[in-house]
Structure 1
Amino acid sequence: MNDMAKNLILWLVIAVVLMSLFQGFGSDDTNKSQIDYTSFNKEVSQGLIQQVQINGQEIKGLKSNQTPFVTYIPAPDLDLVNYLIKNDVKVEGTPPEETSFLASIFVSWFPMLLLIGVWIFFMRNMQGGGKGGAMSFGKSKAKLMSEDQIKTTFADVAGCDEAKEDVVELVDYLKDSSKFQKLGGRIPTGILLVGPPGTGKTLLAKAIAGEAKVPFFSISGSDFVEMFVGVGASRVRDMFEQAKKSAPCIIFIDEIDAVGRARGAGMGGGNDEREQTLNQMLVEMDGFEGNEGIIVIAATNRPDVLDAALLRPGRFDRQVVVGLPDVRGREQILKVHMRKIPLEDDVKAMVLARGTPGFSGADLANLVNEAALFAARGNKRIVSKEDFEQARDKILMGSERRSLVMTQKDKESTAYHEAGHAIVAKLVPQHHPIHKVTIIPRGRALGVTQFLPEGDQISQNKDELESSISVAYGGRIAEELIYGAQKVSTGASQDIKQASAIARAMVTEWGFSEKLGPILLTGEQGSLRSNVVSHETGKVIDDEVKVFIDTNYKRAYKLLTDNIDILHAMKEALMKYETIDALQVDDLMARVTVRPPSDWVDDKESEIVKATIPSTEEAETDKVDAEKSSEKAVVEGKGEVVSDVEVDETETKAPTTTEEDKSDK
């Protein structure tokens, strides 16, 4: 039953009770005719009244024709009874009401009790209907898990060996504290787990409790603060009181930045409820009274916003960074999640780890789950390499949009665009290897050129960054060479945005500009620092950004012009196969016969696409046309990149054409 139905039933019950109460207190004179006192006396003298019942100033009775009536005495009349008896009227009296003491109290206090009940109901709803009723909103909401309930161990945590090493001594202390106390050592009272979302911070905290076999209190930072003043501080006190009774134990506070932000930033100043909660937490962690045997583990994605008093030694003594796993860590995480699913022999965790740079532990768990779902849809008994390939493509680029109807012209334009990216990527120095090129629509993209780094990339040099800019413009230049500058589509909007962002960062953040040198010119959120950048410096920045873009734009233009035959051949291969892999790209670049994909089946047509070199006359014609187009672009536009335009969803190429888009993952 949902909340709306519960509220409706409650109000119906209240309405029925009130109606019954008012009806009980009301009179039953609705079916009696009321007459005035003068008429009543006349009818008595005429013998028309049979019997009456006197109750104070109210007279009820029956007439001779059995008609009920009621009337009221305007003033006390002592002779009324004798007058009625003389006229043969049967007179009855009413006994005094005997109301019990409890009933009288209930009747008098019923409205107040009703208001209290309604108040309790609303308070219960506002504080979430916590365990224990409305009067328990000052109690802690921490969930207690006993040592027998926690099955997670360090064997279930992979990809963060350094983090495990930092916390393994906590387990030793919880198991045998005397080992440390003999030498005067003191175990950290607080451990702050820092890292991006999905890296396993909560899992690591549960593994500590599972290994140590101690009670585990779990709570979120947002569970402390309510709308009532003092509730958060009360819950902190109650949580630590419960923990003292279960010591040694672990308290895990997830998303502690919800309550631990730096003080002085709230709207209420020092009286802000969140700050009162933080003050109480600071006192409980390291105040006048000690908390022996209680270890507080907290997790956050934003350690930069936490209060300095919370991070000092004695409270959170140690910060453990749980970062994104490297290739070895990803392999270990995949093996942990692959234990539960049947796999083909060709599925190698190391190969999958190499193809998933930037994936967190949660992403890898999702990858294995998606692969299992793909295998289930195909009614397979085991999960194959192809299922993992489809799962990775879905996570990185979105689901295939085979229902999207593309005209032959749009499909051909997309093929040229993606071929331009691939050819430039093969010819520029220090660029990631190509994994696949596809013109199958995925997500918002009509086509994708996907790269596969050979290892985890920690940093990039100038050559790599400039190569990325050239590759980003390869798709737009390919369209310009084939269709002319007036026919270039808006599909390169994300490519232009990406290339421009790289070029600007090279000038303002990474110090690759010869004129400006290694000076930081940006502040937070990538905006220019107003106290450093003048109007003249801003103009120099724009000029330097344009130099990087123009240089790499012209380089990509020349590479595609010199290899326009490969551009045509790759377009034909994409039109035929829709997706080509690294081996087929190598065949095209070598100008040899293109081998079909391993899973390609074509019963109607056995011939394969060939990257044929045009005849001498055709080659000369293509070269002359390309040179004219290049000269026209340099003279009229001087290689300047046109500004990006807003495009339709179906016309936008996804920003997954270069490796930087993969690093965002």
Structure 2
Amino acid sequence: FGSHDGIIVIAATNRPDILDPALLRPGRFDRQVTVNYPDINGREAILKVHAKNKPMEASVNLAAVAKTTAGFTGADLANLLNEAALLAARRGKSLIGMDDIEDAFIKVIAGPKKKSRAMKEREKKNTAYHEAGHAIIAHVLPTMDPVQQISIIPSGNALGYTLNPPTEDKYSVYKNELKEKISMLLGGRAAEEIIFGDVSGGASNDIQRATDIAKKMVTQLGMSSVLGLRAFGSDHGEVFLGRDFASSQDYSDETAAKIDAEIHAIITEAYERAKQILNDNIDKLHFIAEFLVKNEIMDGEQFKAAMEGTPTFEELEEMTAAKQRKSREENEERRRKQEEERRIREEEAKKAAEEDAKKKSRKTEGLSSETDFDDAESNTAETEVESIDASENSDYDDVTTEETSEEAQDLEIEESASDDEKKDDEP
């Protein structure tokens, strides 16, 4: 290649940590540009682009959607609105509502709902208390994000879920926030133990996530008061060899025991805190769980009303019914407008067709008039010619008649003279 060939070579990777350093030397791929996930403003702008050709209800707030989709890429956001449009169409709606977007969001992150999957009454009740435990602790602890929805309808591999996505982009993590996150994760197990005196295996994923957070606090983030500001374990970056080969234990067995003890202490403390919060809010725990058993889903507004007041089931159900009525009214209004627009278009098309027909008719009549005029001119010319011929013939007849009359007079004179001569000759 020449020095001015105008070709720019660009490469992309999701794993820059495993690239050969020789590839990144000066003069090669030496300029690196990190493209992060879009922030809240970027997500809102992307949502507006993908929402241009999709009719939305007035209640749809794309800024709120952008807040709850932290970590979504542009493709994820496009897929979210496409799923929402499909859900709205299946429901017979002409407008996409917030409920469609929320359901699409849940489908994207948790998998499709499996309403056909029947649960026994004990499992259903256990799941309801489990999810209510998560939600109550998320509401009480100040660093947790607000609950958006609670469901005991199986989705993906889970029997239920408590959805509290982050409402803002976070770039730093704090010790107290991580400890409260562990308490929230263990809130489901704590609720089962308090209510039933027994526990199920439904909290296995929660326990795994809680353990990972506690281990990271101790071994990577230096958040252990016992072990101090140290990072334990080294990573050689050999991602294709597996974790056992890629990492090595660079500390003694005694230190390993201390690490395990510190992880256990963090988790135990968080679990005890979760149980204390649920015992302090036992009435709310029963109310929310019973509501879930009856209705299967509780949205964020209903949950907030239940935690901050003493509503009845009927009042909470009316909140949902009111939103559904408003959604139906907006869709009906949209249908009426579409019908009116269709009628206007049809009338305009009909008028345009009539105008075209009139223009064609006038054009045809104009051609016919010109033809008639030409025929009339032709007939007039022929008549004039015939008149001229007749006049000329008449003049000829007059001349002939005059000439004949003169000849007759001359003949009569001659005959009269002849008779006179004859009389003179007589004796």
TM-score by length of 1: 0.45
Q: Which amino acid aligns with 2:180?
A: S
**2:309 maps to 1:596:** no
**2:270 maps to 1:559:** no
Query: 2: distance between equivalents of 1:493 and 1:390?
Result: 25
1:366/1:564 Cα in 2 relative to 1: closer, same or farther (>3 Å)?
same
**2:250 maps to 1:539:** no
Query: 2: distance between equivalents of 1:516 and 1:388?
Result: 46
SS at match of 1:464: helix
1:368 shift after superposition: 1.3
Q: Which amino acid aligns with 2:310?
A: V
Tell me whether 409-418 or 582-591 shows the greater mean CA deviation: 582-591
**2:57 maps to 1:339:** no
What residue number does 2:75 align with?
Answer: 362
Unaligned runs of 5+ in 1: 1-283, 602-665
Q: How does 1:76-155 map to 2 (within 5 A)?
A: none
1:529 shift after superposition: 5.7
Q: How does 1:430-509 map to 2 (within 5 A)?
A: 430-484=143-197, 487-509=198-220
SS at match of 1:318: coil
1:291 shift after superposition: 5.0
1:543 shift after superposition: 0.6
The answer to whether the 8 Å contact 2:70/2:167 transfers is no
1:476 shift after superposition: 0.8
The answer to whether the 8 Å contact 1:472/1:496 transfers is yes
What residue number does 1:417 align with?
Answer: 130
Query: 2: distance between equivalents of 1:564 and 1:465?
Result: 25
Query: 2: distance between equivalents of 1:531 and 1:448?
Result: 36
Runs of 4+ in 1 over 6 A off after TM superposition: 525-528
1:583/1:348 Cα in 2 relative to 1: closer, same or farther (>3 Å)?
closer
1:341 shift after superposition: 2.0
The answer to whether the 8 Å contact 1:342/1:382 transfers is yes
SS at match of 2:272: helix
Compare CA radii of gyration and give the structure with the larger one.
2
Q: How does 1:279-290 map to 2 (within 5 A)?
A: 289-290=2-3
Q: Which amino acid aligns with 1:517?
A: G
The answer to whether the 8 Å contact 1:480/1:488 transfers is yes
The answer to whether the 8 Å contact 2:80/2:101 transfers is yes
- CA deviations 1:185-217 (Å, max 9, x no partner) are xxxxxxxxxxxxxxxxxxxxxxxxxxxxxxxxx
1:426 paired residue among 115, 119, 139: 139
Query: 2: distance between equivalents of 1:465 and 1:539?
Result: 22
Query: 2: distance between equivalents of 1:376 and 1:294?
Result: 47
Q: Percent same amino acid among aligned pairs? A: 47
SS at match of 2:32: strand
What residue number does 1:206 align with?
Answer: none
1:529/1:305 Cα in 2 relative to 1: closer, same or farther (>3 Å)?
closer
Query: 1: distance between equivalents of 2:259 and 2:90?
Result: 53
Q: Which amino acid aligns with 1:313?
A: P
**2:96 maps to 1:383:** yes
The answer to whether the 8 Å contact 1:425/1:471 transfers is yes
Q: How does 1:29-68 map to 2 (within 5 A)?
A: none
What residue number does 1:521 align with?
Answer: 232
Query: 1: distance between equivalents of 2:3 and 2:127?
Result: 67
Aligned length: 312
Q: Which amino acid aligns with 2:306?
A: L
The answer to whether the 8 Å contact 2:232/2:249 transfers is no
Unaligned runs of 5+ in 2: 323-427
1:326 paired residue among 10, 27, 39: 39
CA RMSD of aligned residues (A): 2.0
- CA deviations 1:312-334 (Å, max 9, x no partner) are 33232421211101111100111
What residue number does 1:126 align with?
Answer: none
1:425 shift after superposition: 1.6
Query: 2: distance between equivalents of 1:341 and 1:459?
Result: 36
Q: Which amino acid aligns with 2:75?
A: A
What residue number does 2:108 align with?
Answer: 395
The answer to whether the 8 Å contact 1:429/1:463 transfers is no
Q: Which amino acid aligns with 1:299?
A: A
TM-score by length of 2: 0.69
Q: Which amino acid aligns with 1:490?
A: G
1:531/1:403 Cα in 2 relative to 1: closer, same or farther (>3 Å)?
closer
Query: 1: distance between equivalents of 2:112 and 2:185?
Result: 23
Query: 2: distance between equivalents of 1:439 and 1:395?
Result: 17
1:584 paired residue among 302, 309, 316: 302
1:574 paired residue among 289, 292, 303: 292
SS at match of 1:296: coil
Q: Which amino acid aligns with 1:552?
A: A
The answer to whether the 8 Å contact 1:521/1:529 transfers is no
- CA deviations 1:382-423 (Å, max 9, x no partner) are 322222111111001111110011122211111111111111
1:531 shift after superposition: 5.5
Q: Which amino acid aligns with 1:553?
A: Y
2:16 paired residue among 300, 303, 308: 303
Q: How does 1:173-252 map to 2 (within 5 A)?
A: none
- CA deviations 1:24-72 (Å, max 9, x no partner) are xxxxxxxxxxxxxxxxxxxxxxxxxxxxxxxxxxxxxxxxxxxxxxxxx
Query: 1: distance between equivalents of 2:8 and 2:40?
Result: 32
1:585 shift after superposition: 2.0
What residue number does 1:256 align with?
Answer: none
What residue number does 2:419 align with?
Answer: none
